[in-house]
Amino acid sequence: MSLTINLTVNGNTQSATAEPSTSLLDFLRDTLNYKGTKLCCNTGECGACTIIYNGKPINSCVTLAADANGAEIVTIEGLADGDKLHPVQQAFIDTGAVQCGYCTPGYIISVKVLLDRTKEPTPEDIEEAVSGNICRCTGYTKIVDAIQLAADRMAGRS
């Protein structure tokens, strides 16, 4: 039994069918071809598949596509404005926070939501915002630097 899913991805209306058991991650990656959102643990533990779902960051691997009918979704592909990167994307590059880059889309989404909410995140805010994202390459030091740089730039402090 296939279901028809209507949703908005990065401002574009999309409609496609999915099985009731299909995860939103698989639906985005395999059906709608948004491959920037990454598959890793598939059990909601690592944050590589983080997307913005009706304004909130969620793990798309443990969300059903069927539940996303009518949802407004933003993926990593929806952040840049043409060739101009979102400040969070630019900050991750500038600080050397992108090593293998596999966790990066999930981080950038989590941080975008944080910085949309607050211009002056405390260290605790930063830690909380990305506590669900795992990175094995960086030891987190340069990721914290990237988040701080993005916050400063977005608030006009840097």
Near other proteins by CB under 8 A: residue from 23, 50, 60, 95: 95
Determine the Cα–Cα distance for residues 50 and 39; give it in Å rounded to an integer: 10
Number of residues that bind other proteins (CB under 8 A): 50
Determine the Cα–Cα distance for residues 147 and 134; give it in Å rounded to an integer: 15
CB of 69 to other proteins, least distance (A): 23
Q: CA-CA distances (angstroms) from residue 40 to 7, 72, 73, 113, 116?
A: 24, 23, 20, 21, 26
Residue with smaller CB distance to other proteins, 70 or 136: 136
Residue 107 token pair: 């981080």
Near other proteins by CB under 8 A: residue from 8, 31, 72, 77: 77
Residue 51 token pair: 């997307």
Task: With contacts defined by CB under 8 A, name the span among 62-70, 114-122, 131-139, 149-157 that binds other proteins.
Answer: 131-139
Write b or e for each residue in 76-92: b if 16 or more Cβ atoms lie within 10 A of its Cβ, otherwise e: bebbeeeeebbbbbbbb
Near other proteins by CB under 8 A: residue from 3, 8, 94, 148: 94
Does residue 57 sit in helix, strand or coil? strand
Q: Is 137 in the site for other proteins (CB under 8 A)?
A: yes
Site string for other proteins, 8-47 (x = CB under 8 A): --------------------------xxxxxxxxxx-xx-
Residues at the site binding other proteins, with contacts judged by CB under 8 A: 34-43, 45-46, 48, 75-77, 79-80, 85, 89-90, 92-96, 98-105, 108, 127, 130-131, 133-144
